[in-house]
Structure 1
Amino acid sequence: MRRLINLAYLLSLGVFLVSCATAERLQKRGDNFLALGEYAEASGQYKRAYNLTSPKDHEKRGFLQYRMAECFRKYGYTARAVGAYKSAARYNYTDTLTYYWEGEMLRKQGDYKGARKAYESQLEITPKHEGSLQGLTSCDISPDIKAAGSAYSVKIEPLFNGSRADYSPAFMGTEADQLYYSTTRSQATGDDYSGITGEMAADIYYSKKDDKGNWTRPEGAEGNLNSEFDEGACQFSADGKTMYLTICRTDADYPRMAEIWTASRSDATWAKPQQLKITSDTLSSYAHPAPSADGRWLYFVSDMPGGFGGLDIWRASLSSKGVGTVENLGPKINTKGDEMFPTTRYNGELYFSSNGKEGLGGLDIFKAVEDTVNKTWIVEHLPAPMNSNGDDFGMTFEGKHNRGYFSSNRSTGGRGWDKIYSFSYPERLTTVKGWVYEQDGYELTTAQVYMVGDDGTNEKVAVLSDGSFEREVKPGVNYVFLAVCNGFLNYQNELKVPEHLTEETQYVLQFPMPSMNIPVLVRNVFYEFDKADLTPESVEALDRLVKLLTQNKHITIELSSHCDYRGEDDYNLALSQRRAESVVNYLTEHGVSADRLQAKGYGEKRPKIVNKKLTETHTFLHTGDTLTLDYVLKLDSAKQEVCNALNRRTEFRVLRTTYGLFDEKGNVNVDAVKADVKNNAALKEEEDKEKAVGKKEEEEKEAEDEVFEYVE
């Protein structure tokens, strides 16, 4: 009997030892799969190891539950992840971020009460944990965001969705008549299941509109695009001829690194993709490529060194030579969490998804507008129902319309699978179109327009080849548009967009820019005979010059004085210099900053050049004649006196148009622009008061014309 008991003991001990050894091997296999990014495979190995681990070994079972939870979280099995995190906590495996991740998964299920409890438990272990504190804030604001809703409408699109995952839609080209997306449906190419998700490897499918504008049944992308590997998250160049896509190739000896590939299109057929090297780093993932509408940038996702957390959004410059400089989009976009699925619009807006910012749960969609002047981004969380407590990602817009498609694994409609949804927003698109051109005609294609709004907008806009630009503007925002071009005076426009608009609106602004290379004659400036003292009759003209400089605070000028040929050259030069200084002194005494003014006496060195307007008054003159000494002496005495009077003149010409407008780094001074708006408003109010007491606008214009004359 004793022998039988001993034999049974030895047999059970042997089974136990074999189980322990097997569990260890399974755990190691799970660790290897996890390191390779094969989350579905890893979770299966951990589960088998867990089942072979003694119920009394709480520490090991807690560890394995935590590892399973991590795998479930990373490939989107939220409900299983919640259960596994809870089990890990029951086994007192809490020296990690167990409660935090449990809270994240509960919030993703919309259980804000349970999530709050989990975050609070995490904070008891790790006080001041940033993610848990942010999670508590999200739990506070989420119910209100959901209740508030928005004007967006969202619905699932059965035609595009199969029995498995369908995600990341993208329109091809500007016509928006073909929609591509990724799918793991059973008809996908290849026989193997993805070790990442446990599903079929993803293929790229597409649908196109028929002659009646209806979408056709989706089918696999034509050509050599799909393979036995995962192909996903594709987007297109503006002309639709180049596809950028993500491919995850399988290699048993290396981690599953996502890569960016490109494919070119001939008619409807796609050529075999070619890998696009972003950097020389081969140990990082590169995914979710998104070319900008203007073709200057390729946005993408990577975990390469130099980021802010998990997956960050980066961009690389694009040119005919290929991929250029790579830069991280910075802390306004990226967080300690994951930022993924960037997409861009025609107007430069960037849309992306993040689980590292305050939101409803999982991946939420955000809109970002680049502040090109201050080199930062203005980021905005999209409202419900665009965002849900599930993962929301991969937006694509139908041209300039506020409608399109996106993907989500929200609880309504997809049973936890990623599905494609349509969205629309009331078409009340409000835009501004501007035209920048020379005051006398031709477009100015080298001009830059600075767009500053009281909502924080600060953008530098390049004009197109026809001198135009177009930008979307927001309701209820006051904008200032400042056009700047070398050789021309700045031109400023203001635009106040109403808070509520009932229809699509486009505002049109004109920017006729005067040349700064044309000297401006200041009429009716008189001096005492043979002196530099100004006479009382000069006050009105000089006061108008003061007003001109007050209205244009960013110009600097050269104030010049000229003499006729009578008198010695040196004497005339000195006299004209003193006279120019007299005018400058008058201007500074009346509030114009001295460093905006230069006094220059030219004596008789720069005789008057006759313009067309002078020939109308003095018919003996011809356009382009220069009133030199030789020219004048050939005339009779009366005509000589006319020419001498024309040569005796005071002029100014603009030297700069950017005084006080930019800081030392070359960025536009927002405070200066805002001060301009305030200053112009005050001047406008003053002018209105003047008109109210009977001073007619026509009279003012006539008086101004009498004082200033642009010399052609």
Structure 2
Amino acid sequence: MKKLYITLSFVIASGLLSAQNSKTKDADKLFDRFEYIDAASAYLKLTEKGYEDSYVQKRLADSYYNVFNTAEAIKWYAKLVEEKLQDAEIYYKYAQMLKAEGNYDEAKKQMQQFVQLKPNDERAISFQNNPNYLADLKAKRPLFEVKTSDINSNKSDFGALLTDDNTVYFTSARNEARKTSGWNDEPYLDLYQAIYNEDGTLSAPTLVESVNTKWHDGPATISADGTIMYITSESFNDNKFEKSDDKKSKFSRMYLYKATKNDGKWSNLTALPINSTEYSLRNPSISKDGKTLYFSSDMPGGLGGEDIWKVSVNGDEYGTPENLGEKINTPGNESFPFITSENMLYFSSNSKQGFGGLDVFEADLNTGSEAINIGEPVNTGKDDFAFSFNTSKKVAIFSSNRDGVDNLYIARPICGVNAIVMVKSATTRKAIESALINVLDDTNSLIATSSSNDAGQQSYEVQCEKVYTFKVSKEGFEDGIFTMPASPNGTTLIEAYLEPIKPIITEKEVILQPIYFEFNKSNITAQGAEELDKLVAVMNEYPEMVIFAKSHTDSQGKDKYNLDLSERRAQSTVQYIISKGIDKERISGQGFGESELKIKCDKCTDEQHAQNRRSEFLIIKK
């Protein structure tokens, strides 16, 4: 049922493979009305009559995808990929369904096909950067312990929120007296409430008075003082809708409404002015100070299907919605935002790297760091979503269809911290890979040693409420010591900025740290550029300075080969300096091969060879 709030109002046939025609007309109407159960049945009848082409196959696959019938979706996506079609989204959705069924090897193959067709897509780039990410996710320390809620029904229950007065608000399709939705043949959604007891149990749920309508209602968010509610419902409440092309059908949008509590009762249900019949807004979450409302929407200006947005709130005045950007959103769907009192954002995504379906992610909006998958057991291969966290009570509630229907789950934090160290240059702010990181506990005992990855990151599972020290070193940089204060359960980011070692300027030369080239190559590496940028800074400081760059090799290899290699490296160095705006009259270079060894030796050690492989920057004029 939760996919109603992800795809309702913007399901669009992407890359139609054949075409609609008179035979598919009735089934297409059902699909376009988001009645996917009936639509799938209608398309199946066509196949039974012998009419089956790629268009029908795709509509069947997408119908099952939209209601998360993974087995049937896989069956029909498999037929499509056999035809080697050029619709990239088919391969992506197929991979998502395979992951949901735990078939990770086959999912990886389909993602590789997606990468070939859409190499510049953010999802493709993320996959290419770490195609084996699942092993890392499975190795993460569990952040929460999970148990099933005792108020679940045999229908969809999701979108729960625990307030400080121990009221749990949640959305459910359990009301059998309600009209049935064509989406999944369940009753329309209502907002319910229950009391959270200290032993973790919940009282019998009751309908929330005065906010439920004849349409879908919920999820909702409540202000910190308990007097304001923002709730999702349908634009039909305000007689607003969009008509189908043939003018015979009406389509609602999901709207956000505000209600206020007076004398213990909710009233004055009013549509927000930021609603529009051109797109939907749903799944609200209000900040602790009541000044920022987060929500999900497919409004224009986003990065993909559905994105996370925010809008400023001042009484009954609302600002212009702002997209949370690419650190949160992707070309896929991000939805169900929840903002904690500490400004931590939890949300669900089906496009960031996860276990399959929707996964729950967290992002620290105080630091602007990248969103992090919170791992198992909250996340599974199924849809895991609508994660809310009452940090003062240390109780989270989230939703999942891991048992076949959307249910509520209680999550309690396990005391521990995921410490993420980000190593960057203090001058360029660029990530530093292969930096050595030593982790010491509050007794100054070494507990871990490793290196930063190519993104300058490394993570460590440490105990909560303890002080840790991170000693970081990298050749060419001053050593750095960074302290993580005693932290509560969760994720903590440690930004380790290393100061580059400054060049030594003598009367004769500018001395830099060693400049390394790849074996048998002469192109400037990232490390070499970092050092040469220091020389550029010196030459800008001394505008009359003229430099002669000398490149040397070790004594391994033939003389002529070494001479040619050093000459190429010297000229690459000169060209790099010129590319940074230094006049070509102020820089020249020459390769000397092994003709000027710093250490002459018959059987040189690796260290001696390294000292002979060097660059010198002589000052011709200062």
**Do both proteins adopt the same fold according to a TM-score greater than 0.5, normalized to the shorter chain?**
yes
Indicate how the Cα distance of structure 1 residues 242 and 307 shifts in structure 2: closer, same or farther if over 3 A, else same.
same
In the alignment, is the contact (CA less than 8 A) between 1:61 and 1:91 conserved in 2?
Answer: no
3-state secondary structure, aligned to 2:181: coil
Query: Do residues 230 (structure 1) and 225 (structure 2) align?
Result: no
1:416-441 Cα distance to aligned partner (Å, 9 max, x none): 211111111135799xxxxxxxxxxx
3-state secondary structure, aligned to 1:205: strand
Which residue of structure 2 aligns with residue 208 of structure 1? 195
Deviation at 1:361, TM superposition (A): 1.6
Deviation at 1:50, TM superposition (A): 3.0
1:341-390 Cα distance to aligned partner (Å, 9 max, x none): 00011111111111121122211111112247xxx454222122222222
Deviation at 1:132, TM superposition (A): 4.9
Which residue of structure 2 aligns with residue 29 of structure 1? 26
Indicate how the Cα distance of structure 1 residues 188 and 141 shifts in structure 2: closer, same or farther if over 3 A, else same.
same
3-state secondary structure, aligned to 2:92: helix
In the alignment, is the contact (CA less than 8 A) between 1:26 and 1:46 conserved in 2?
Answer: no
Aligned counterparts of 2:68 and 2:171: Cα–Cα separation in 1: 16
Aligned counterparts of 1:217 and 1:400: Cα–Cα separation in 2: 21
Indicate how the Cα distance of structure 1 residues 379 and 124 shifts in structure 2: closer, same or farther if over 3 A, else same.
closer
Deviation at 1:62, TM superposition (A): 2.6
Q: How does 1:253-264 map to 2 (within 5 A)?
A: 253-264=249-260
In the alignment, is the contact (CA less than 8 A) between 1:63 and 1:93 conserved in 2?
Answer: no
Aligned counterparts of 2:265 and 2:323: Cα–Cα separation in 1: 34
Paired amino acid for 2:167:
Q
Aligned counterparts of 2:219 and 2:399: Cα–Cα separation in 1: 11
Query: Do residues 43 (structure 1) and 40 (structure 2) align?
Result: yes
Paired amino acid for 2:26:
R
Deviation at 1:127, TM superposition (A): 6.1
Deviation at 1:284, TM superposition (A): 0.5
1:444-489 Cα distance to aligned partner (Å, 9 max, x none): xxxxxxxxx9789xxxxxxxxxxxxxxx9996479xxxxxxxxxxx
In the alignment, is the contact (CA less than 8 A) between 2:118 and 2:124 conserved in 1?
Answer: no
Aligned counterparts of 1:305 and 1:203: Cα–Cα separation in 2: 29
2:145 is aligned, of 146, 153, 158, to 153
1:333 is aligned, of 328, 337, 353, to 328
Which residue of structure 1 aligns with residue 405 of structure 2? 417
Q: How does 1:463-612 map to 2 (within 5 A)?
A: 476=468, 496-497=483-484
Greater percentage in helix: 1
Greater shift, 257-266 or 347-356, is seen at 257-266
Which residue of structure 2 aligns with residue 168 of structure 1? 159
Indicate how the Cα distance of structure 1 residues 29 and 169 shifts in structure 2: closer, same or farther if over 3 A, else same.
same
Indicate how the Cα distance of structure 1 residues 253 and 473 shifts in structure 2: closer, same or farther if over 3 A, else same.
farther
3-state secondary structure, aligned to 1:66: helix
Larger Rg: 1
Q: How does 1:78-227 map to 2 (within 5 A)?
A: 78-90=70-82, 95=87, 97-123=89-115, 131-132=123-124, 134-135=126-127, 140-157=132-149, 159-172=150-163, 174-175=164-165, 177-185=166-174, 187-190=175-178, 192-209=179-196, 215-227=201-213
Deviation at 1:100, TM superposition (A): 2.6
Which residue of structure 2 aligns with residue 564 of structure 1? none
Indicate how the Cα distance of structure 1 residues 259 and 343 shifts in structure 2: closer, same or farther if over 3 A, else same.
same
Deviation at 1:497, TM superposition (A): 3.7
3-state secondary structure, aligned to 1:368: strand
The TM-score with structure 2 as length reference comes to 0.59
1:51-77 Cα distance to aligned partner (Å, 9 max, x none): 3343xxxxx433212111112212322
Query: Do residues 299 (structure 1) and 288 (structure 2) align?
Result: no
Aligned counterparts of 2:147 and 2:423: Cα–Cα separation in 1: 31
3-state secondary structure, aligned to 1:195: coil
Deviation at 1:318, TM superposition (A): 0.2
Which residue of structure 2 aligns with residue 316 of structure 1? 311
Aligned sequence identity (%): 29
In the alignment, is the contact (CA less than 8 A) between 2:228 and 2:258 conserved in 1?
Answer: yes
Q: How does 1:377-388 map to 2 (within 5 A)?
A: 377-388=369-380
Deviation at 1:156, TM superposition (A): 1.4
In the alignment, is the contact (CA less than 8 A) between 2:343 and 2:366 conserved in 1?
Answer: no
3-state secondary structure, aligned to 2:97: helix
Indicate how the Cα distance of structure 1 residues 254 and 454 shifts in structure 2: closer, same or farther if over 3 A, else same.
same
Aligned counterparts of 1:357 and 1:475: Cα–Cα separation in 2: 32
Aligned counterparts of 2:323 and 2:119: Cα–Cα separation in 1: 30
1:7-36 Cα distance to aligned partner (Å, 9 max, x none): xxxxxxxxxxxxxxxx94462233334334
Indicate how the Cα distance of structure 1 residues 497 and 371 shifts in structure 2: closer, same or farther if over 3 A, else same.
closer
In the alignment, is the contact (CA less than 8 A) between 2:88 and 2:117 conserved in 1?
Answer: no
Q: How does 1:668-679 map to 2 (within 5 A)?
A: none
Aligned counterparts of 1:379 and 1:123: Cα–Cα separation in 2: 22
Which residue of structure 2 aligns with residue 285 of structure 1? 280
Deviation at 1:104, TM superposition (A): 1.4
Aligned counterparts of 1:70 and 1:273: Cα–Cα separation in 2: 35
1:347 is aligned, of 299, 319, 342, to 342
Aligned counterparts of 1:340 and 1:120: Cα–Cα separation in 2: 26
Aligned counterparts of 1:227 and 1:350: Cα–Cα separation in 2: 29
Indicate how the Cα distance of structure 1 residues 429 and 454 shifts in structure 2: closer, same or farther if over 3 A, else same.
closer
Aligned counterparts of 1:123 and 1:378: Cα–Cα separation in 2: 22
Indicate how the Cα distance of structure 1 residues 203 and 258 shifts in structure 2: closer, same or farther if over 3 A, else same.
same
Paired amino acid for 2:159:
S
Indicate how the Cα distance of structure 1 residues 168 and 95 shifts in structure 2: closer, same or farther if over 3 A, else same.
closer
Paired amino acid for 2:105:
K
2:398 is aligned, of 402, 406, 426, to 406
Could you tell me which runs of 5 or more consecutive residues in structure 2 were left unpaired when the two chains were aligned. 1-19, 242-247, 425-463, 471-480, 490-622
Could you tell me which runs of 5 or more consecutive residues in structure 1 were left unpaired when the two chains were aligned. 1-22, 55-59, 431-452, 457-471, 479-493, 503-712
3-state secondary structure, aligned to 1:83: helix
Aligned counterparts of 1:475 and 1:422: Cα–Cα separation in 2: 29
Indicate how the Cα distance of structure 1 residues 454 and 65 shifts in structure 2: closer, same or farther if over 3 A, else same.
closer
Deviation at 1:335, TM superposition (A): 0.7
Aligned counterparts of 1:150 and 1:402: Cα–Cα separation in 2: 15
3-state secondary structure, aligned to 2:388: strand
Q: How many matched pairs?
A: 412
Deviation at 1:206, TM superposition (A): 1.6
Aligned counterparts of 1:142 and 1:166: Cα–Cα separation in 2: 28
Paired amino acid for 2:24:
Q
In the alignment, is the contact (CA less than 8 A) between 2:196 and 2:203 conserved in 1?
Answer: no
Deviation at 1:498, TM superposition (A): 5.1
Deviation at 1:327, TM superposition (A): 0.9
Deviation at 1:329, TM superposition (A): 0.7
RCO higher in structure (CA 8 A, sep ≥6) = 2
3-state secondary structure, aligned to 2:212: coil
Aligned counterparts of 1:137 and 1:320: Cα–Cα separation in 2: 45
Which residue of structure 2 aligns with residue 693 of structure 1? none
Paired amino acid for 1:341:
F
3-state secondary structure, aligned to 1:420: strand
Aligned counterparts of 1:291 and 1:81: Cα–Cα separation in 2: 36
Query: Do residues 73 (structure 1) and 73 (structure 2) align?
Result: no
User: What value does the CA root-mean-square deviation take over the aligned residues?
Assistant: 3.5
Aligned counterparts of 2:188 and 2:396: Cα–Cα separation in 1: 26
Aligned counterparts of 1:364 and 1:475: Cα–Cα separation in 2: 31
Paired amino acid for 2:231:
L
1:107-139 Cα distance to aligned partner (Å, 9 max, x none): 122210121232334456666665456457676
Deviation at 1:188, TM superposition (A): 4.7
Paired amino acid for 2:36:
Y
Deviation at 1:338, TM superposition (A): 0.5
Indicate how the Cα distance of structure 1 residues 268 and 156 shifts in structure 2: closer, same or farther if over 3 A, else same.
same
